[in-house]
């Protein structure tokens, strides 16, 4: 199912709300068949991005395409939503309906609705058709929202913080269900999260967004092998270090220690740093959490 074709493509995407710039030139490419983790701090622009992709918000400038359709146009955004499923952060559904009624309601919009999956997930998530949505716990509501998304026969699942508010056991169940579904159906998943562990657990591609811009993006394995942390310890106070070589993400200086996050495997950065003659020099691999924290950390 996977191919190199991008299901989601944004180019120079800006979204301004009054005087707030939620997105500031976001460039993004989500390959078909991937599980794409979209990481960022609160307020980084994750939810805004999803809303723009689904045509819920109009971009101020720039372009957003899903399945090659512009999300800014009313009718093409309908086509995007016909082929996509979305689960919002809050998982709010219609309180005045029962589980059975909202399943029937949602089913009516999707000709490719999977009745077999509906029965399967009703059993798996222990959802009773006669229960009123108003009385459901947040966890059960999340399960119902996931059922409504997974049964649509969607080629793309857009999930905004899919496990927020769930206890670890329930979050794990949900992720397993998602991975199994994607493995079976071959859908593309684009999910936002600030739970780094779950992104690392299921994603094969990630992008880190900060202040409305994608600052890191790529295949997770490539990022892990590409990024490295370099520790330099000096005998006295560390000198101010300016690295000219490409691929230096962040330099932090604290007393005698300088820590550098490099996104380049090449030796140029290392060679350049050795020129500062540190007392010790150490290169170590980084986790996704390291990449995330180093990328979005604001200098004190």
Partner 1 sequence: MLWQKAWRETRWRFMSALLVLTMMAGSNVFDYLATQRLLPHLTATTETPVAEASGLAGMIREAIELQKDFRGFIWYQAFRQNLTQMGVFFAVLLGCGGLLHESSKGSALFTLSLPVTRKQLLGARAGTGLAQLFAIAMVPPLAIPLLAPSIGQHFTIVDALAHGLCLFFVGAVFFSLASFLSTMFTDIWRPMLIAIGIACALAVVSFAVPPLNIFSVMNGESYFKTGSLPWAGFLTSAVIATALLYSAAETMERRDF
Q: Which residues pair with 285 in a beta bridge?
A: 228
What is the total count of residues that contact partner 1 (CB under 8 A)?
30
Note whether 95 binds partner 1 by CB under 8 A: yes
Q: Are 35 and 200 in contact (CB under 8 A)?
A: no
Picking from 46, 52, 59, 64, the residue whose alpha carbon sits closest to that of residue 213 is 46
Cβ distance to partner 1 smaller for residue 8 or 291? 8
Cβ distance to partner 1 smaller for residue 74 or 130? 74
Q: Are 14 and 25 in contact (CB under 8 A)?
A: yes
Nearest approach in angstroms of CB 41 to partner 1 is: 21
Under DSSP, is residue 81 helix (H, G, I), strand (E, B) or coil? Answer: helix
Residue ranges in 136-175 that form contacts with partner 1 under rule CB under 8 A: 145
Per CB under 8 A, the segment of 3-11, 100-108, 165-173, 268-276 that binds partner 1 is 100-108
Q: CA 229 to CA 257: how far, in whole Å?
A: 13
Under DSSP, is residue 77 helix (H, G, I), strand (E, B) or coil? Answer: helix
Note whether 109 binds partner 1 by CB under 8 A: yes
Q: CA 207 to CA 198: how far, in whole Å?
A: 14
Cβ distance to partner 1 smaller for residue 17 or 283? 17
Per CB under 8 A, the segment of 73-81, 227-235, 239-247, 273-281 that binds partner 1 is 73-81
Nearest approach in angstroms of CB 98 to partner 1 is: 11
Cβ distance to partner 1 smaller for residue 105 or 283? 105
Per CB under 8 A, the segment of 62-70, 74-82, 212-220, 286-294 that binds partner 1 is 74-82
Q: CA 264 to CA 86: how far, in whole Å?
A: 36
Note whether 93 binds partner 1 by CB under 8 A: yes
When binding is defined by CB under 8 A, the residue of 17, 135, 180, 255 that contacts partner 1 is 17
Note whether 75 binds partner 1 by CB under 8 A: yes
Residue ranges in 110-139 that form contacts with partner 1 under rule CB under 8 A: 110
Q: CA 140 to CA 89: how far, in whole Å?
A: 14
Residue ranges in 31-60 that form contacts with partner 1 under rule CB under 8 A: 51, 54-58
- Strands (E) located in the chain: 6-17, 20-31, 35-40, 61-66, 69-70, 84-87, 156-160, 188-193, 205-210, 213-219, 228-233, 248-254, 257-262, 280-285
Per CB under 8 A, the segment of 91-99, 181-189, 197-205, 244-252 that binds partner 1 is 91-99
Note whether 78 binds partner 1 by CB under 8 A: yes
Helix (H) or strand (E) holding 100, with range, is helix 99-107
Helices assigned H by DSSP within 192-232:
196-202, 220-226
When binding is defined by CB under 8 A, the residue of 4, 19, 42, 74 that contacts partner 1 is 74
**By the criterion CB under 8 A, which residues form the site for partner 1?**
17, 51, 54-58, 74-75, 78-79, 81-82, 84-86, 88, 90, 92-97, 105-106, 108-110, 145
């Amino acid at each position: 199912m996977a191919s190199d074709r991008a299901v989601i493509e944004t180019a120079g995407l800006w979204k301004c709300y009054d005087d707030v710039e939620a997105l500031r030139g976001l460039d993004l490419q989500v390959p078909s068949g991937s599980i794409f983790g979209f990481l960022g701090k609160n307020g980084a622009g994750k939810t805004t991005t999803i809303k723009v992709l689904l045509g819920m918000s109009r971009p101020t400038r720039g372009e957003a395409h899903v399945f090659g359709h512009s999300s800014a146009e009313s009718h093409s955004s309908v086509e995007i939503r016909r082929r996509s499923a979305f689960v919002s952060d809050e998982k709010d559904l219609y309180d005045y309906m029962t589980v059975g009624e909202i399943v029937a309601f949602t089913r009516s919009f999707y000709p490719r609705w999977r009745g077999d999956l509906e029965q399967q997930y009703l059993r798996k998530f222990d959802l009773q058709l006669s229960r009123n949505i108003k009385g459901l716990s947040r966890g059960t509501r999340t399960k119902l929202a996931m059922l409504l998304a997974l049964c649509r026969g969607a080629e793309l699942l857009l999930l905004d913080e899919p496990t927020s508010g769930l206890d670890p056991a329930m979050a794990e169940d949900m992720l397993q269900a998602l991975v199994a579904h994607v493995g079976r159906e071959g859908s593309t998943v684009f999910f936002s999260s600030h739970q780094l562990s779950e992104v690392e657990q299921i994603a094969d591609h990630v992008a880190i967004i900060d202040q409305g811009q994608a600052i890191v993006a790529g295949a997770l394995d490539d990022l892990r092998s590409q990024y490295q942390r370099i520790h330099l310890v000096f005998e006295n106070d560390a000198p101010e270090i300016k690295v000219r070589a490409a691929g230096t993400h962040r330099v932090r200086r604290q007393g005698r220690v300088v820590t550098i996050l490099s996104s380049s495997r090449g030796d140029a950065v290392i060679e350049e740093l050795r020129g500062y003659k540190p007392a010790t020099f150490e290169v170590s691999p980084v986790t996704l959490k390291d990449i995330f924290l180093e990328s979005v950390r604001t200098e004190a």
